[in-house]
Amino acid sequence: MAEDPKYQRIHRALAPFFAMLCLVSLPFLWMSRLAGIATAFAAIGWLVVYGLLRLDRVRAARWLTSALPVLHLPMVALALGRPVEAHLYLLVSVGTPFVLYPRSERRMIAATVVAFAASYLACEVWVSTHAPWLSLDPGSAAAAHSVIVVGAVLFALVIAGYTAVTGWNADAALAAEHTRTESLLRNVLPARIAERLKRDPTAIADRYAGCTVLFADIVGFTRMSERMPAAELVGVLDEIFARFDDLADAHGLEKIKTIGDAYMAAAGVPEARPDHALAAARMALAMQDVIAGLADRHPGLRIRIGLHSGPLVAGVIGRRKFAYDVWGDTVNVASRMESHGVAGRVQVSAATAEQLGAALRVEPRGTIEIKGTEPMAVFLIVPPS
């Protein structure tokens, strides 16, 4: 897995900051030749860290970053003693590896934290029980102490600020990802079903007594696809089905799926409604209007639509790619209504025609043979004038 580049950016930003802290404190520490030399070498070391990062020598930069405080700060603490409190840097430095190193560098993080903690404890014991190597007058000790404390506070604030900003950004990213996931889930499943699935991931299956299934198929699409460039073909289908999706939302139908150039939707699922047949019929007529509106750009474009009403079972299948689907004889008959239908018209079964009543006018087409069933009377919806 590729490393997150943010750690390198932070490392490059903090290395010059650490070098600056060393250089600012250098005049106050030069009174102790050992502390001054150690601080000067530390400043150079942090600049070397910055250069290594610029050259993408990341691992070498991390090892040097882990070693510098352990080599530098104990020297200053032992040389100047308790009045200066230089070992405070070791204490506040414990959080540094968590900011600069990715989680994949667990061993380096653990080694650095242990080294900082051990060095701090050793210095704490030493300065508490031994005299400093260099005796400072009260004024010099106070000045050096002030510089080191201010630097330690600034360092702690930088680490705390970064941690806070990172936490806020992570919260914002998590919220955005949650919103995106919710949106994707609702694009795949009906909102009511998505909520049920989040509460209980077990199988979702419901039986509905009254629904209407709609099938639509583009006439002659196979021949059209043979002479049309792939990008144009997909663009045409996307435009058509996107408009059909809008119609499904407007008329309260649930889009079930698309299969090639076929479109399937259902009324009365997952929310039962008494006017399921009328809602599906009105959507079907609107779909015919959509296709008619595209005739100028795509001559000869027509669709067959079939409707059938009756009971069915609806539910969610799949584990990695959820799908809301419907099953039952109602689905099979609706498919036959489409496949045995008339281009440019909406064909419905007797059950759907009965459900429509006087809301829409239908005309009998006769009786058709449907595989697996008795001959069925079918009707064509008369488009409103």
Q: Does some domain include residue 1?
A: no
Q: 155, 181, 207 — which closes off a domain?
A: 181
Tell me if 266 sits within 8 A of 254, measured CB to CB.
yes
d(CA 378, CA 31): 104
Instruction: Please indicate, yes or no, whether residues 65 and 158 belong to a single structural domain of this protein.
Output: yes
Instruction: Please indicate, yes or no, whether residues 297 and 153 belong to a single structural domain of this protein.
Output: no
Instruction: Please indicate, yes or no, whether residues 29 and 139 belong to a single structural domain of this protein.
Output: yes
169: helix, strand or coil: helix
Sign of CA pseudo-dihedral 268, 271, 273, 275: negative
d(CA 186, CA 193): 9
Instruction: Please indicate, yes or no, whether residues 200 and 328 belong to a single structural domain of this protein.
Output: yes
Of residues 107 and 79, the one with the higher pLDDT is 107
Do β-strands 204-218 and 362-368 pair in parallel, antiparallel, or remain unpaired?
unpaired
Of residues 98 and 312, the one with the higher pLDDT is 312
Q: Does some domain include residue 186?
A: no
Instruction: Please indicate, yes or no, whether residues 256 and 295 belong to a single structural domain of this protein.
Output: yes
Instruction: Please indicate, yes or no, whether residues 244 and 131 belong to a single structural domain of this protein.
Output: no
How confident is the model at residue 182, as a pLDDT? 64
How confident is the model at residue 81, as a pLDDT? 64
How confident is the model at residue 165, as a pLDDT? 72
What average pLDDT does the segment 48-68 reach? 86
**pLDDT band of 1, cuts 50, 70, 90:** very low
Instruction: Please indicate, yes or no, whether residues 224 and 246 belong to a single structural domain of this protein.
Output: yes
Asked if residue 21 has pLDDT above 50, the reply is: yes
Phi then psi for residue 302, to 5 deg, are -145, 160
In this prediction the pTM is 0.57
Of residues 280 and 56, the one with the higher pLDDT is 280
The number of domains in the chain is 2
pLDDT digits (tens, 9 = 90+) for 120-169: 777 777 777 777 666 655 665 666 667 667 766 776 777 677 667 766 77
155: helix, strand or coil: helix
Phi then psi for residue 189, to 5 deg, are -125, 155
Q: 181, 202, 225 — which closes off a domain?
A: 181
Task: Please provide the DSSP assignment of 279-337 as one string.
Answer: HHHHHHHHHHHHHHHTTTTSTT--EEEEEEEEEEEEEEE-SSS-EEEEESHHHHHHHHH
Instruction: Please indicate, yes or no, whether residues 199 and 342 belong to a single structural domain of this protein.
Output: yes
d(CA 53, CA 65): 11
Token readout for 236 is 């045409």
Token readout for 321 is 């790619």
pLDDT digits (tens, 9 = 90+) for 218-254: 887 777 777 778 888 888 889 999 999 999 999 999 9
Asked if residue 200 has pLDDT above 80, the reply is: no
Range name among 11-15, 199-203, 263-267, 302-306 with the lowest pLDDT average = 199-203
Asked if residue 271 has pLDDT above 80, the reply is: yes
Q: Does some domain include residue 312?
A: yes
The residue range of the domain holding 63 is 6-181
Instruction: Please indicate, yes or no, whether residues 131 and 10 belong to a single structural domain of this protein.
Output: yes
Asked if residue 305 has pLDDT above 80, the reply is: yes
Phi then psi for residue 257, to 5 deg, are -175, 170
What average pLDDT does the segment 88-107 reach? 75
Range name among 8-17, 184-193, 322-331 with the lowest pLDDT average = 184-193
Q: Does some domain include residue 370?
A: yes
CATH number at residue 217: 3.30.70.1230
Which of 9-13, 51-55, 110-114 has maximum average pLDDT? Answer: 51-55
CB atoms within 10 A of CB 196: 17
How confident is the model at residue 202, as a pLDDT? 67
